[in-house]
Amino acid sequence: MSASTHAVPLYRLAHGRTGDKGNRSNISVIAYRPEDFALLVAQVTESRVAEAFAHRQPSRVKRYVLPKLHAMNFVIDDVLDGGVNGSLNLDSHGKALAFLLLDMTIEVPTTEEK
């Protein structure tokens, strides 16, 4: 990124929620401010989300964009070590995972932030 940007954690710009079905997780990423939505669409990509969950070895990450809600929905396959009945995780639903995704950093134009 250029010198006129700085990194902020995604959780400053967006909120989200995790849902689960079987061994698949879906995580919404919703802009707090509509004006940030384009920035999020540009930077919170399928490949960056796959990277955030690399240790869980998901087989696929699919992003759906909902411009009218200023939201994105990420569907992450085979990310729950078997899911609610199969995983050895304390959080076998993966309820916490939205907060792993929201830890990602976003490059924000410095001037716009002021």
Please report, as ranges, the residues that interact with other proteins according to CB under 8 A.
11, 15-17, 19-22, 24, 26, 28, 30, 32, 55-57, 64, 66, 68-69, 71, 73, 75, 81-91, 96-97, 100
102 and 16 Cβ atoms separated by less than 8 Å:
yes
Shortest reach from residue 106's CB to other proteins, in Å: 15
Toward other proteins, which CB reaches closer, 30 or 41? 30
21 and 40 Cβ atoms separated by less than 8 Å:
no
Shortest reach from residue 35's CB to other proteins, in Å: 15
Beta strands in the chain (DSSP E): 5-9, 14-15, 18-21, 24-31, 60-66, 71-77, 105-109
Toward other proteins, which CB reaches closer, 20 or 49? 20
Chain length of the chain: 114
